[in-house]
Amino acid sequence: MFAQRCRVDPPRLIYTPHDAMRPKKVPARFVFVLLVGVLLASVAAEYVRPPPGRVILTESSQPPSHPQQVHVSLVGANHMRVSWVTDAKHGHSVVDYGRASGNYTSSATGEHTSYRYFLYSSGKIHHVTIGPLDPGTVYYYRCGMVGDEFTLKTPPAALPVELALAGDLGQTEWTASTLAHVSKTDYDVLLVPGDLAYADTQQPLWDTFGRFVQTHASRRPWMVTEGNHEVEAGMALPGSPTPFVAYTTRWRMPHEESGSPSALYYSFEVAGGAVHVVMLGSYAGYNSTSEQYGWLARDLARVDRRATPWLVVLLHAPWYNTNAAHAGEGEAMRKAMERLLFDARVDVVFSGHVHAYERFTRVYNNEANPCGPVYITIGDGGNREGLAFDFQKNHKLARLSLMREASFGHGRLSVLNATTARWAWHRNDDADSTIRDQLWLESLSANGACRRANPADDSWSDEL
């Protein structure tokens, strides 16, 4: 379970035309030796954890007026936001759409914006909200009245619903592998707990990332929250860029619709309100006097667990972590906000930041508790920095950690009905995706013992 540290080579760059961009098969790393005359009943091949993949810089092959970096996100119960960029400063912020290819029976007009980051000037960034849309339906759409046709599928109106998760993505060969594995099986929404482009102030990397993920992000809604690589704070000088300017301008999420005063945290619902998802901001104020704390308290208080049996939370810096990487970075936020999540009976909390996979038992206040959330770190999407190998066997939380592995991969939360969900973590085994961890979850709203106002905080030894 505890990987040996492997040699990590510096990431190399691959320039790829956008139209030629396809997920690549990764060369096999398993070695099987055939010894003539020796019959082996079985071969136990140890998995070789990969170094960082090469960075893929996806160039645009579109005319300046044509849409690129197309992605969609959820807005309310039956609307979706279509976002894209054009290099030309002119163009229409219009989306035409319908249920048949080339037959656009509806049209919506939105808005456009742009930003500057020192000497960099972004293209024209368009955001258009379309709808009302029917649930579980494929729509064909075209942006700006020019260019390619895209398709999207809306989430279902009721359970079951499939939520895919991939954190700390970047734009490497391993990111391509992760997203290819995500798309091999249908899903309804992709959740990203921070660290998207790894631009780190190099603004053209936001453009290459948008083109890199377009194939996937234009087909299903991507709901994201910020990580440390989104901060991009300028120098403390007049006219310097404000933090998060690229992230909030390009990846607009429905914070206003959820009553949030900030683009750095928000909530939304899927499956007709059966699942309430809260996206917290690890890099926004979070103490008891902060706007985020007040908003979270109000947001959770509005959730009726009879109508919304599932509560899911995402944030970037994990509150529970036995890896030496980023040790303790989420502790202050945990101390400030954990009680809100516990009292609301949040079912599961996903985080990123640590480039590995780790799953804890149900926890509250550093102790196993059957009424606390399951905490899962999934910061293993494929980033350029490599994996976090240094899990600490003697960590004070090791007794609560049930599964940990430093490998690239993604997760899937299949919410089947009001009481039952299945979680599975898929490791990127070369060209294949292998389930390495899974469990069944019972919604805390269905657990009679957890409906008490003040459940005991004593320790429990069972997994759930």
pLDDT tens per residue across span 6-26 = 333 444 455 555 544 444 443
Q: Are strands 357-364 and 310-314 parallel, antiparallel or unpaired?
A: unpaired
Whether 326 is catalytic: yes
Nearest to 300 by CA among 411, 195, 449, 445: 445
Q: Residue 49, Cα to own-chain centre: how many angstroms? A: 22
Element (H, E) at 83: strand 79-86
> What pLDDT score does 456 carry?
40
Q: Across residues 435-456, what is the average pLDDT?
A: 83
pTM across the whole model:
0.89
Q: What is the DSSP string of 364-397?
A: ETTEE-TTSPEEEEE--S--TT-----B-TT-TT
**pLDDT tier at 49 (50, 70, 90 boundaries)?**
confident
Bridge partners (DSSP) of residue 165 are: 191, 411
Average pLDDT of 335-339?
98
Statement: residue 143 has pLDDT above 50: yes
Catalytic residue among 18, 316, 326, 355: 326
The residues, ordered by sequence, that sit 6+ positions from 71 with a Cβ below 8 Å of its Cβ are 82, 83, 84, 210, 213, 214, 217, 218, 222, 251
Radius of gyration over alpha carbons of the chain, in Å? 22
User: Which pLDDT does position 91 carry in this prediction?
Assistant: 83
